[in-house]
Structure 1
């Protein structure tokens, strides 16, 4: 059970606790875990905004002291978390909050969440429901998976691998990621004077003023016809019949270029492969609007322009009737959208009436494609035997929450340049994604070929990171050994 904003208890159902849907579910079928998807979306939105809500309230009370009642000794907080896992959410709420009289704020503090004093009490109760639900799903590391050798053994023995990828697998091709300090796209957008760079990818902002997105579109437009060694690694897993699904947050469509089969690929945030009109949904190949994106000019829908030109109503600007065209057919040439006798005023009005073309990438505020939930909750969750996350900071929900929706006994491996602290992976392999996967394949005896992989592989020094805080003992740094014998971060 969860807690409603008014203080009463409401029944909740964690997706991880739902009855299995079976191993033979047709992921394209209509019968999917609709309740799972709806719960996930709602919960993700709240979790994603918790930090922002606290920050906005905290600004009103700088320097506020933490109330004595919200101070926990680490061992006591850990014991409370164990009690939640032992009792389950319903009994925990009954025994600790209802019968025990513990306040919502004190309970939240044990889980590391402290809403400021000005935070509305009803909202505190809603936040507590999410925090308890999240803690119930939090996965603990598998102690037996603790070395690079164990990771290699998993690669060789597991047959249904989920690979979750982010921008880090494409940076070696010169494609910028979004969140890296200094070099990431958001950092570059801040230098342009944008107060919140994420607004560039907000669907409401796009609908209000598409020129904002189109002004930076050329910076994220995929122009390369190459894929990275990490893409090749995923394709190799597919070739060995080990790839269950590649869930990618990337929009560059390089997975397709690398040969990942459509039935093995879920593009969680869409891609530039196609573009659609926000007005009439007319869809075209993404490359159709690349010229406008490269020039920073808003692309308009050819079909809308054609329909406008063929409508036999009088143009209020000119008093003339538009010339009729064959209905629902786009013009033969993008350069000649209007008839020869169309006036400049008619063309301008038609242009304004035509819908804006939007690349079929998922903006903030848009739902993820149905295939995401159908595939994960209706199929992959019951089949997966290994998860590998590569090149993602796991900061964007709901994709970042795939981790908590998989069975806790499935090993989870993380590969990236920087560690994550909000998720407990069994092993973290830190370094260049390309260098790490090449070394793993070498140790597994696999032939990973790619034009960017030298024929004579460099020597890789692998060192365990000790004393790096929580979970540090499961982190391994991959470094290329230079000619002088010194390690250089991979």
Structure 2
């Protein structure tokens, strides 16, 4: 199962979105005149929508920084605007460069303070559509949002302007020798494994419909809830248990090919399906950031087994118990008495068979430990290997970063890309773009299609049954961008589907 959301050390509920390191923090003070940042936002009557209420309530929130990020997210559009009230694309790019060159104070002096442009219009240069509730208000009513926009822009890594085209991406792949690949759920969906967050089809959306008696579907993966009542997790575990039977996607094959060519430094995978092993990615090249179903561990004695040893119980909807604990209890006589009658009616229980005296199902064994797949639940630390590999090994060696099939919205894995040196080129491959990180080249579309086209242009053979050598791939530059390319497939001579 792909797990872009089964994370360590994050609270249950909405995850904090990551916008990279924050060199400048927005200061919030509230007086009679609402202040956001260092600029006054004058009150203007009763709040007329949720966004306005959230802005007006910021000063009372213990979670101010997170709410600021959410507010900006609510009114940010991932494009340059083309209407007359917006800054044209080329000018917007120049404003962003100017901000970084002169700093926020001088930038504000040269733009808004000088009267060269209004704060309302300047917001659009940073992808922010002025909210309707401020329409008709004085221009200084937009100062608070502008402060947030500038802070967010400065927190991002600056794009490397020399890399823009697909040929640039191919050049980087061919010349690099220490590539960090960070993957998410999008590289497994072509195998029929759902991601977590997609509307309607994602796992969380499906869990909401089951009526599990929990407030948030993410609580299924909360370690405290698991320890208190493992039945909640095991009631749905059979639906997320990976059953890949040796399958792997063309994107997995692409990563393995980088490895076999001596180019892969590390594959950081957020997925728990362990499909990387099927593709031949070696353990020393792989960091499974959120663990996997490959192994399972007793929550009482720490006994670890291969994951498939508990699959039968999971598929049957049972709670797998530790065989070592059971063996120990039997050996020292601590097993509880065999249930021979029904306490509710005093009648002797029905024998299941004539030779089931040793049937574990007829014993009460509350002290035998519960087995838990070694996936990282909310509230658990990520594997030590994650931090050690990133800090002590990869940061000094990496020469290219490729992010595939993940929106990078949940910490701490979302911190990997901002942590790596900003002068190292970065390529993003996924169906939809992200706005909180400036990648150098965005390749948008089905991951398998994109990597197959990259291999074709590089002259590499990506041998995989799901890759049709006759597939026609159309690539278009997204309007308003110089480095964002949209991949789509045209006709082909045949339809390729994964063998089952």
**Following the alignment from structure 2 to structure 1, what is the Cα–Cα distance between the partners of residues 9 and 315?**
36
Q: 1:288 aligns with which of 293, 309, 327?
A: 309
Match in the other structure for 1:461:
474
SS at match of 2:235: helix
SS at match of 2:239: helix
Deviation at 1:261, TM superposition (A): 1.0
Q: 2:53 aligns with which of 46, 64, 79?
A: 64
**Following the alignment from structure 2 to structure 1, what is the Cα–Cα distance between the partners of residues 56 and 361?**
68
**Following the alignment from structure 2 to structure 1, what is the Cα–Cα distance between the partners of residues 361 and 195?**
42
Q: Contact 2:10–2:379 (CA<8 Å) still a contact in 1?
A: no
1:316-359 deviations in Å (ceiling 9; x for gaps):
899xxxxxxxxxxxxxxxxxxx99589987x21x2x11111000
SS at match of 1:142: coil
Q: 1:220 aligns with which of 210, 234, 240?
A: 240
Size of the alignment, in residue pairs?
371
Deviation at 1:307, TM superposition (A): 1.5
Deviation at 1:193, TM superposition (A): 2.8
1:36-77 deviations in Å (ceiling 9; x for gaps):
xxxxx98999994489xxxxxxx9x955385699999999x9
Counterparts in 2 of 1:16-415, with a 5 A limit?
Answer: 48-49=15-16, 64=53, 66=55, 82=100, 138-194=156-212, 195-224=215-244, 225-312=246-333, 340=357, 347-348=363-364, 350=365, 352-415=366-429
1:163-193 deviations in Å (ceiling 9; x for gaps):
1001111111111111111111111111213
Match in the other structure for 2:36:
none
SS at match of 1:291: helix
1:386-418 deviations in Å (ceiling 9; x for gaps):
000011111221111101110001011111111
In structure 1, the gaps of 5 or more residues are 1-40, 52-58, 88-109, 113-130, 319-337, 485-490
Q: Contact 1:269–1:362 (CA<8 Å) still a contact in 2?
A: yes
Match in the other structure for 2:112:
none
Deviation at 1:473, TM superposition (A): 3.6
Q: Contact 1:275–1:285 (CA<8 Å) still a contact in 2?
A: yes
Deviation at 1:272, TM superposition (A): 0.6
Q: Contact 1:298–1:356 (CA<8 Å) still a contact in 2?
A: yes
State the TM-score, normalized to the length of structure 2. 0.66
**Following the alignment from structure 1 to structure 2, what is the Cα–Cα distance between the partners of residues 398 and 433?**
23
Counterparts in 2 of 1:410-489, with a 5 A limit?
Answer: 410-454=424-468, 456-467=469-480, 472-482=481-491
SS at match of 2:318: coil
1:11-59 deviations in Å (ceiling 9; x for gaps):
xxxxxxxxxxxxxxxxxxxxxxxxxxxxxx98999994489xxxxxxx9
SS at match of 1:365: coil
252-261 vs 63-72, which moves further: 63-72
**Following the alignment from structure 1 to structure 2, what is the Cα–Cα distance between the partners of residues 231 and 344?**
41
**Following the alignment from structure 1 to structure 2, what is the Cα–Cα distance between the partners of residues 171 and 476?**
21
Evaluate the alpha carbon distance shift between residue 189 and residue 207 of structure 1 in structure 2; reply closer, same or farther with a 3 A threshold: same
Deviation at 1:425, TM superposition (A): 0.8
Match in the other structure for 1:6:
none
Give structure 1 regions of 4+ aligned residues with deviation exceeding 3 angstroms. Answer: 41-51, 65-75, 77-87, 131-137, 312-318, 338-345
Q: Contact 1:137–1:404 (CA<8 Å) still a contact in 2?
A: no
State the TM-score, normalized to the length of structure 1. 0.67
Match in the other structure for 1:119:
none
**Following the alignment from structure 1 to structure 2, what is the Cα–Cα distance between the partners of residues 365 and 132?**
33
1:140-175 deviations in Å (ceiling 9; x for gaps):
111111111100111111111001001111111111
**Following the alignment from structure 1 to structure 2, what is the Cα–Cα distance between the partners of residues 360 and 49?**
24
SS at match of 2:236: helix
Larger RCO (alpha carbons 8 Å, 6+ apart) = 2
Deviation at 1:243, TM superposition (A): 0.4
**Following the alignment from structure 2 to structure 1, what is the Cα–Cα distance between the partners of residues 492 and 323?**
58
